[in-house]
Amino acid sequence: MIGYIFQRILASIPVMGFVALFVFLLLRLTPGDPAAIIAGDTATPEQLEAIRDSLGLNDPMLVQFFDWIIRLLQGDFGTSIQSREPVLKLIADRMEPTISLALTTIVLSVVIAVPLGVIAAWKHGTLIDRFVMLLSVLGFSIPVFVIGYLMISLFSMQLGWFPVQGFRPIGNGAGDFFHRIALPTLTLTLLYIALIARITRTSMLEILGEDYIRTARAKGLPEVRVLMRHALRNCSVPIITVIGIGFALIISGVVVTESVFNLPGLGRLTVDAVLARDYPVIQAVILLASLIYVIVNLLIDISYVLLDPRIRYS
What secondary structure does DSSP assign to 10-74, as a single string?
Answer: HHHHHHHHHHHHHHHHHHHHSS--HHHHHH-TT--HHHHHHHHHHHTTTS-HHHHHHHHHHHHHT
All structural domains of the chain with their residue ranges: 2-73, 95-307
Check pLDDT > 60 for residue 188: yes
Sign of torsion over alpha carbons 302, 305, 311, 314: positive
Check pLDDT > 70 for residue 268: yes
Q: Which residues pair with 79 in a beta bridge?
A: 86
Check pLDDT > 70 for residue 33: no
What is the Cα Rg of the chain in Å?
Answer: 24
The pLDDT mean for the chain works out to 78
Stretch 26-51: mean pLDDT, rounded?
66
Residue 31: pLDDT band with limits 50, 70, 90: low
CATH number for region 95-307: 1.10.3720.10
Which contacts qualify for 55-62: CB closer than 8 Å, 24 or more apart? 55/81, 61/25, 61/28
Which pLDDT score is estimated for 301? Answer: 75
- The helix (H) or strand (E) run that includes residue 235 is none
User: Residue 227 burial by CB count (10 A; 0-12/13-18/19+): exposed, middle or buried?
Assistant: buried
Which pLDDT score is estimated for 162? Answer: 82
Between CA 228 and CA 234 the distance in angstroms is 9
How do residues 140-184 score in pLDDT, each as one tens digit? 777 877 888 888 888 888 888 888 777 777 777 778 788 888 888
Between CA 238 and CA 245 the distance in angstroms is 11
With contact defined as beta carbons under 8 Å apart, do 119 and 113 qualify? no
Amino acid at 200: T
Stretch 57-67: mean pLDDT, rounded?
76
* Helices within the chain (DSSP H only): 2-29, 34-39, 45-55, 61-73, 87-122, 127-141, 144-151, 174-208, 211-218, 223-225, 233-234, 236-252, 255-260, 266-275, 279-307
DSSP 169: -
